[in-house]
Amino acid sequence: MSQPDFTKIKELAENYQPDMTRFLRDMIRLPSESRLEKEVVERVKAEMEIVGFDNVDIDPMGNILGTIGNGKHLIALDAHIDTVGVGNKEIWEFDPYEGYEDDVVIGGRGASDQEGGMASMVYAGKIIKDLGLEGDYTLMVVGTVQEEDCDGLCWQYIIKESGLKPEFVVSTEPTDGGIYRGQRGRMEIKVAVKGVSSHGSAPERGDNAIFKMGRILGELEALHGRLKTDDFLGKGSLTVSEIFYTSPSRCAVADGCTISIDRRLTAGEDKALALQQIRDLPAVRAADAQVSMYTYDKPSFTGLVYPTDCYFPSWVIPENHVVTQSAVAAYKSLFEKEPRVDKWTFSTNGVSIMGMFGIPCVGFGPGKESEAHAPNEKTWKADLVRCAAFYAALPYTYLEKLG
């Protein structure tokens, strides 16, 4: 594979900006919350076929996989194509599904998180085709489902059931122009306490589960302050996100109380540690509370159920890893400056790609983290162009680094 003309790659990406904008706006117009992605998957399939992908398949879970080339080095680009809901429409300044555009930005639910990444990936494929940049690699462009419900589940399925194991994966989650090489992990934890109900006029006859949980809540708040900090990923954290109770009536002592905990895991923390830290709390022991992980077992839009624990490991790829250095080299060759190398605050499909399966993962995607899940979500047209150029150039720099 001869060295590509990076200037031509950038020029072609710029030329395709109107096509990427049109495609992204079409995706935004199709509501695609987790488990409701069928229409947007079909729209992606149509665009992949229009631009000339060699093969396009939809797997039994509903993930769409388009390929270019047939070389021995399998390289994957990933974008989840499901979105969160729109929340309170009254605080949107425009229709979240019709969206809008001006000379600089594109607005709408999914613009940054993460359908913009899909638009850039598909047109990177067209750039590769148009400029004859195929080489001893196969590029697999993957649009994944259910990420907002259960990040990484899609790649658990792809790797375990389809037997596909790329040499590395680029996550196209928004990175605000930077190259990202890690993230904290997370867990969804349940703590349940039992009590004994009695009439509210004689609470001493019962055993109030809410009071028991109250003591646990105070100890959890203190535990948060003691959690480990990593120099790169930052601090582990926890917060109580939900609380439920059971009681015969408002005039009775509560006989059950359950809370949900959002636990963020920094480097060196895992599910065994996080669960044991909670089980060791004095109030948890005194209440004989049950501490467990939630599981996810909702069907995809195809009806397939693929159960998993709600455990999403942290991961970091070293800065001197060949994949990180290949990404940096592609960036410098295209844009003639040093990239910002950083990490995500939120969670991505990398939790399974690298966190569970050890497949190197690096991030570069259009948009900003701060736009994700927010009202008036938008992305930048210049980001779509930069990312399409980057994805088209990266296979060359990777093969060059491999020698």
pTM: 0.96
Q: Is 101 a catalytic residue?
A: no
Burial 336-350 (b: 16+ CB within 10 A, else e): eeebeebbbeebbbb
Structure confidence at residue 2 (pLDDT): 83
Structure confidence at residue 1 (pLDDT): 76
Per residue of the chain (403 residues), give pLDDT as tens: 789 999 999 999 999 999 999 999 999 999 999 999 999 999 999 999 999 999 999 999 999 999 999 999 999 999 999 999 999 999 999 999 999 999 999 999 999 999 999 999 999 999 999 999 999 999 999 999 999 999 999 999 999 999 999 999 999 999 999 999 999 999 999 999 999 999 999 999 999 999 999 999 999 999 999 999 999 999 999 999 999 999 999 999 999 999 999 999 999 999 999 999 999 999 999 999 999 999 999 999 999 999 999 999 999 999 999 999 999 999 999 999 999 999 999 999 999 999 999 999 999 999 999 999 999 999 999 999 999 999 999 999 999 999 8
Structure confidence at residue 270 (pLDDT): 98
**pLDDT digit string, tens, across residues 73-107:** 999 999 999 999 999 999 999 999 999 999 999 99
Interacting residues of 302 by C-beta distance below 8 A, sequence separation 6+: 60, 61, 62
**pLDDT digit string, tens, across residues 358-402:** 999 999 999 999 999 999 999 999 999 999 999 999 999 999 999
Closest CA to 185 of 308, 35, 356: 356
Catalytic residue among 37, 47, 78, 82: 82
Structure token pair of residue 280: 């060791």
Q: At 100, is the secondary structure helix, strand, or coil? A: strand
The pairing of beta strand 361-363 with beta strand 168-171: parallel
Catalytic residue among 147, 207, 255, 383: 147
Domains of the chain by range and CATH?
6-183+314-402 (3.40.630.10), 185-296 (3.30.70.360)
Q: Is 82 a catalytic residue?
A: yes
CA gap 76, 95 in Å, rounded: 33
List beta partners, residue 256. Answer: 194, 246
On whether the CB atoms of residues 112 and 367 are closer than 8 A, the answer is yes
